[in-house]
Amino acid sequence: MADTSDFRNGMILDIDGVFWTIVEFQHVKPGKGGAFVRTKIKNLVTGQVKDNTFRAGERVNEVRVEKRTYQYLYNSGGMYYMMDKNTYDQIPLDESMVQDVKGYLQENADVGIYMHNDKPLIVELPNFVELNVKETEPGIRGDTAQGATKPATMETGLVVQVPLFIEVGDVVRIDTRTGKYLARV
């Protein structure tokens, strides 16, 4: 058991048998009345995000998880297959579990998977990935005053706004937390 003073972003809670992760939280001490903690939590199964308020000092059930490194192998029939890098065991993940990150998944890429009792909960990507540009329009120079962008489709199907000088075949670095272009590699 933990209490609200132990809250941190990414902490996983068991609320009525459902696992939620804390997206953000804020401790509030109003001038009148007791202090409380306002949180935004995300359901790990459905992806639903909701606001929840806890009284300061309230006890909550924290879920202990283990992070393991897996290698993404391939996807087939709505399942994404990962291999444990230590034991070489393969686990299939349902497409709904990787919905938010599948645009960044490249074959043989390393990902972190948070496990609870050998059940996968969350797929975590590295902060930056390097993807090949598969399709983009040619940029026309002199079209803009500054900082113009155009859409580019990556090898994984992800569409990212990139500067006009990026061409098909270029490799670009993308921040997986924001989904934004960082640099040409």
Burial 96-109 (b: 16+ CB within 10 A, else e): ebbeebbbbbeeeb
- Is the pLDDT at 2 greater than 80? The verdict is yes
Q: What is the pLDDT of residue 98?
A: 86
| Beta strands 79-84 and 90-94, pairing class | antiparallel
- pLDDT band of 142, cuts 50, 70, 90: low
Residue 121: closest CA among 46, 23, 9, 16: 46
Q: Are 123 and 97 in contact (CB under 8 A)?
A: yes
Q: What is the CATH number of domain 128-184?
A: 2.40.50.140
Q: Which residue has the tokens 């609320």?
A: 15
Q: What is the pLDDT of residue 183?
A: 92
Q: What is the pLDDT of residue 99?
A: 82
Q: What is the pLDDT of residue 47?
A: 76
Q: Which of 44 and 152 is assigned the larger pLDDT?
A: 152
* DSSP structure class, residue 176: T
pLDDT tens profile 73-126: 998 988 999 999 888 999 999 888 888 888 999 889 999 998 888 888 888 889
- Is the pLDDT at 143 greater than 70? The verdict is no
Calculate mean pLDDT across residues 155-164: 91
Q: Which residue has the tokens 């007791």?
A: 34
Q: Which two tokens stand for residue 135?
A: 């399709």
pTM of structure:
0.73
Q: Are 150 and 164 in contact (CB under 8 A)?
A: yes
Report the alpha-carbon distance of residue 34 to residue 32 in Å, rounded: 7
User: What is the residue extent of each domain of the chain?
Assistant: 2-62, 66-124, 128-184
Q: What is the pLDDT of residue 122?
A: 84
Q: Which CATH class is domain 2-62?
A: mainly beta
Q: What is the pLDDT of residue 111?
A: 92
**Torsion region of 118: left, alpha or beta (phi above 0 gives left; psi -120 to 50 gives alpha):** left
Amino acid identity, position 30: P
Average of per-residue pLDDT values in the chain: 89
pLDDT tens profile 31-64: 888 999 999 998 887 778 999 999 998 999 998 8
Domains 66-124 and 128-184 equal at CATH topology level: yes
Considering all CA atoms of the chain, what is the largest pairwise distance in Å, rounded to the nearest integer? 61
CA dist 118 → 67, 85, 92 (Å):
11, 15, 13
Residue 71, judged by CB atoms within 10 A of its CB (0-12, 13-18, 19+), counts as middle
Domain 66-124 listed as CATH 3.90.550.10 = no
